[in-house]
Amino acid sequence: MKSTTRRAHGFPRSPCPIANLLELVGDKWTLLVIRDMLRGRKTYGELLDSPERIPTNILADRLKRLTDAGLVSRSAYQERPTRYAYALTEKGASLGEVLIALARWGKAHIPGTQTLDELASGAPRGKGSRRPAAAHRAARRVG
């Protein structure tokens, strides 16, 4: 996520949809935060407990940026100290299709990669099942 200085056409770099998507989610942490939210994690602590060990300052920054971009909403669930629950908006949840495509590409082209479900179940490394039921589960549970 780079600076948001707008050019004459109204976009930071160009009107290209890929360039603008990368402005929102193109760093190495943001899509992992979205992946974890798609898998049901809601609180800062739950999101911090990702296998990739996101640093606290980066998680706080990404949640703010995602909220500002309308991809995530937050609501207080505790006062003193105030703590928030985070949820993907419809716009944010629609990135699930993008993550599924990235996961499929990774499994097909990066040997030994495993989804979080495969890691948790102890499934053997490899390309995984091509069964329709597996594809359906992948659509519900990204990563």
Q: What are the tens digits of pLDDT across the range 39-81?
A: 999 999 999 999 999 999 999 999 999 999 999 999 999 999 9
Residue type, 30: T
Q: Pairing state of beta strands 72-78 and 83-88?
A: antiparallel
Least confident interval from 83-87, 105-109, 132-136:
132-136
pTM for this prediction? 0.79
Alpha-carbon gap, residue 56 to 17, rounded angstroms: 30
Class of domain 17-90 as given by CATH: mainly alpha
E strand or H helix at 17:
helix 17-25
Alpha-carbon gap, residue 142 to 106, rounded angstroms: 13
Domain ranges of the chain: 17-90, 96-140
